[in-house]
Structure 1
């Protein structure tokens, strides 16, 4: 008897190993509900049941009750609308490995439908009507999954279902999650799933042939708990998702993704297989957006709050919103801008051919990069508005009705401003434009003109002298004096008490009377220079201003000609450079320190200012010799540094001037020595001083010839990389020759 039981057990085990199957394919067409009764003829140890090609619409929850070895179920090609929870939670729940349910009418999958099917490997639910998959259908314990096919359904969104099952990391088997040919157009995360990149994820997610039209960085980083290293490449490698063959709308929302892909190996990775093509706009249809489309083509047309008859475009390639309102009949600058994306930093306005009459402040003035308002009726520009345009790079105000422009326009180099075609008036308050134009070499519009007394003048050649500005001022002052002598005297006394310095300057300017005691240093014959000039030679505008305006006006023009020591021109080079600066500073009656933005970070200039302070302290009983010149009062770098030490203390008690202030040149002449050092500059020149000047000139010419002969070869013991004020020594030689 025992031998019979053993034999029966062996036969049972053998049959289970070999597997039993029940084929009901197309044989139960007269039934709409699959019940347990219909399967009574099937052995309980069956491993495979095929119920395909029938007409079932529903399945009873206990239809497979009693089967304990089922490994494979095929219910394809029916009309089943739902898989009830518990249907697969039977005796065979641990043995089920394959479930085929394609070509039915399933609309949803609910949580726990595969709750205990830990060994499920293949799930095929393609060609149904699925539009909802609950958040825990694919739970972490489905670790044996190899294929989930839900293609050809009606899903409109994508949740991170594929990344929940904790598949083994060492089996070299990727979970393929096929969601192709659905209606997916957005990515969601209602399950609040995140990952931390600690473990690699072995998934392949196919999202081709859906309705995905955009892929922004917000989507790429949606599933990150903490975004530290925002690498699109890392994200895409982690997700391992294929989103090709979707109807992409190639606008600015795709820019960041394409930009990052251009910088990665994805640009060349399986090119023919991974094609991303545009579906719209129409002129880009079917273009490979990754390989055939330049980044500047990814733009967005903005209609919300864009002015009538205007076009507004976001161009992330240059971080700019462009508003084109050419010939749009505007009467003023737009009051507001359309809403902009976070990566837009600037706005460019093209407003030519309208009826705008003035340029005033707007709440977006600080981000204006380009302002084109040519051929309007502009007759006024608010200087404060220009100050607020801190990012302005190009300005076109040509073809308007401007008679003058505010001085604040100088914040831009002249070659970045177009002003032609305006009826400028030649007045004394606009002579600064000549210097502004002169500092911009090669400007295309340097020949613009102004009118005065029916005469036309080229603005860059206009001077105060040519416009009789000084004479006009004198006539006005003289008339006032003659008319109200007593009032002027009283007013002069009051003014002298309130503004003693300005009063002295005006007296010296108009009466040539220097109302002060003579300083001993001015009479010191050992002094070789009237003034020492300390300035940032690396700043080209500062350098050109010193060379072509300051030194030219005071060394060459006028009755009084002064002699300056200019380090860029006169200093020795090599190891004795610092010592030479100190020596020349002690031989100068005045020390002018021009504070510009680059001065505060220039090592040699800091050294000069320290020595100037020492000279001042050593001679303060005789005369405060140091005079500070502020390059631009409103410059942010200068405004930030002046309240700091040591500049705060150094400016106390010193004379501080600015080219932006009135009577600047009068104040400069007032601060210079009363008598120029060299008699060669006077009307009655002495023979001795002429000989001395000729010797100095011959020596200077010999020095330049030596430099040229050596072909600018560095001197012995002088480092090749040594520099003065940010300018190399070799460049200083060339500057010396030029001067």
Structure 2
């Protein structure tokens, strides 16, 4: 607030220095009555006659005067007629200085830049709807524009531009404007009498091009008087002021000589106005102007300057809990949420996203103080007269902005120990049902050391045998809190045992497939055995890989045929139309020996791995079945994802395809006792 205070003092000082300054006059000859002489003296002008045919109201013409001098200046005066357009040949008379065509049916203002001598323009009481850019270009002598009582809804950007060097008065009152660009009058670079937009429907002031007031240059704005009376303005133009570059002391000082009449608008006097009012409220005691008599329509009908600063508040409904009042109170630098007697059973999950929260949850049925995201913004928290039995330590951690906490008259048995970290100015925890034991002995020292705790010396708790004591008197002797000493002789073996157990568990998890394979090989079960197997050998390989198929044909099938073994391999013995996976699994069940050629593509093929899982469970744990695993190619066992086949490689339970003694080792592995090899 130091900035606002300094700004207020500066503005008041500037205002006092300006009180003696002259208010804008219409011209040098208006020394007695400011702005009372804005009627142009036409006594020396020659009136031009018009040829008007109401059958063609848009085709009127100026009649050439009989006697014409180069020094003659003209006026047009045509009222209460049927014209819908200005005369067609108006640009043929560039020395026209005054145009009064009112109470007609004119629908638009044409480009008048050809009339460089024009001083006075009155097109009031017509049917004009739009003022288009450029209509007043080059009219450096134009002093008065009267367009009141038309149907103007739109003023395009640049209509009132900075080159209108002589403008004194603009009347746009009693039209149908709903918004107005503030540069319509800020573009006036000299003192002027009045810019009148009263009796319109203006509900919004805009800065369409986002231009800023430049105080570092020689740009001058006004001053003058702008009349906004009897419009629909409700909300103060804070955003427009920001877009103009406000508020700075230098820029605000520019407008102390301006006049703005905002009376008779339905102003909402809420917190949006607080910053402005905190600066200008004292102006009324220093300067008296009738246009300061601005009334608010909400929250009640009252003079703007009669309201206390504390009354400029905003009621917020978004995310406000049912039955609660949520109010922005800038005078107190807080956002107040009053949920007293609202029937709450828990803290609201959501609140308006604001800082400096002051929460009153008094007299509800809240039973827990749980963590909420908004707690980090809470400065004042009243939870008195509830049914709180539990306080979350996480909620206390989040209350790092808290200044006041009231937990009086609840059912709290234990406080979280981290409540000691709160930096409070006041804490009330009286009238609870605290239980004292060895875990909260810290409360005694805490209550003694913190002066901000209300009635800290009288807060009691219950100990064994339902006896009440003052918490500050609590100590380890009263509670018989003797520490339990555990001998190192006991602790060390326990820790070592736990470490060993953890290591064993980790090893078992990591090597679970290897341990399972070792177990099966050590304790092979004799399962139910068929009277005879249909096949001696089932061969599994990557049948989609030509190299593996050729290797099988050249090194395995010829050998097994010579040994008289009946073999099955899908790519040779399978029949068209069969479901390969089902047929292969059935054949595995009907084969005494399974030979697997594991290449780098075999171990990555999901279909092969499904088949291998069945092979593993049918052979590895059965005394009557054999599994021969042949590694073909270079690949690391750590890269194998299938745990069953990976365990066989890690345990070295395989043969190499390039081993010179591969044939003998295969025959040995097959346990062919009937062969004499």
Same-fold call, TM cutoff 0.5: yes
Q: How does 1:577-616 map to 2 (within 5 A)?
A: none
Distance 1:404 1:43, change over 3 A: farther
Specify the alignment match of 1:467 in structure 2: 479
2: distance between equivalents of 1:351 and 1:129? 55
2: distance between equivalents of 1:267 and 1:159? 31
Higher relative contact order (CA 8 A, sep 6+): 2
Deviation at residue 455 of structure 1 after TM alignment? 1.1
Deviation at residue 31 of structure 1 after TM alignment? 5.5
Where 1:387 maps in the other structure, the secondary structure is helix
Distance 1:18 1:330, change over 3 A: closer
Distance 1:64 1:187, change over 3 A: same
1: distance between equivalents of 2:341 and 2:93? 81
1:385 to 388, 395, 402: 395
Where 2:292 maps in the other structure, the secondary structure is coil
2: distance between equivalents of 1:19 and 1:449? 100
- Per-residue displacement from partner, 1:241-285 (whole Å, max 9, x unpaired)? 4434432101111112112223x646633254322321112xx21
Deviation at residue 392 of structure 1 after TM alignment? 0.3
Could you tell me whether the CA contact under 8 Å between 1:352 and 1:376 is conserved in 2?
A: yes
2: distance between equivalents of 1:459 and 1:152? 76
Could you tell me whether the CA contact under 8 Å between 2:167 and 2:188 is conserved in 1?
A: no
2: distance between equivalents of 1:492 and 1:101? 101
1: distance between equivalents of 2:492 and 2:213? 85
Specify the alignment match of 2:271 in structure 1: 252
- Per-residue displacement from partner, 1:28-73 (whole Å, max 9, x unpaired)? 69566153446457876561221012233x1156152433431111
2:310 to 274, 284, 296: 296
1:52 to 79, 82, 104: 79
Specify the alignment match of 2:96 in structure 1: 70
Distance 1:251 1:406, change over 3 A: same
Could you tell me whether the CA contact under 8 Å between 1:21 and 1:49 is conserved in 2?
A: yes
1: distance between equivalents of 2:293 and 2:228? 13
1:194 to 197, 209, 212: 212
2: distance between equivalents of 1:17 and 1:354? 82
Specify the alignment match of 2:408 in structure 1: 398
2:244 equivalent to 1:223: yes
Corresponding pairs, count:
448
Specify the alignment match of 2:287 in structure 1: 269
Specify the alignment match of 1:180 in structure 2: 198
- Per-residue displacement from partner, 1:628-656 (whole Å, max 9, x unpaired)? xxxxxxxxxxxxxxxxxxxxxxxxxxxxx
Where 1:123 maps in the other structure, the secondary structure is strand
Where 1:209 maps in the other structure, the secondary structure is coil
What are the ranges of 5 or more consecutive residues in structure 1 without an aligned counterpart? 1-15, 495-739
Distance 1:316 1:95, change over 3 A: same
Please, what is the CA RMSD of the aligned residues?
3.2
1:131 to 149, 153, 156: 153
Where 2:272 maps in the other structure, the secondary structure is helix
Distance 1:442 1:18, change over 3 A: closer
Deviation at residue 161 of structure 1 after TM alignment? 3.6
Deviation at residue 319 of structure 1 after TM alignment? 3.0
2:449 equivalent to 1:448: no
2: distance between equivalents of 1:352 and 1:162? 53
What are the ranges of 5 or more consecutive residues in structure 2 without an aligned counterpart? 1-41, 498-677
1: distance between equivalents of 2:118 and 2:100? 12
Specify the alignment match of 1:84 in structure 2: 110
Q: How does 1:525-674 map to 2 (within 5 A)?
A: none
1: distance between equivalents of 2:85 and 2:275? 49
2: distance between equivalents of 1:149 and 1:43? 35
- Per-residue displacement from partner, 1:539-598 (whole Å, max 9, x unpaired)? xxxxxxxxxxxxxxxxxxxxxxxxxxxxxxxxxxxxxxxxxxxxxxxxxxxxxxxxxxxx
Could you tell me whether the CA contact under 8 Å between 2:165 and 2:188 is conserved in 1?
A: yes
1:327 to 341, 360, 365: 341
2: distance between equivalents of 1:128 and 1:80? 9
Deviation at residue 367 of structure 1 after TM alignment? 0.8
TM-score, normalisation: structure 1: 0.55
Could you tell me whether the CA contact under 8 Å between 2:61 and 2:88 is conserved in 1?
A: no
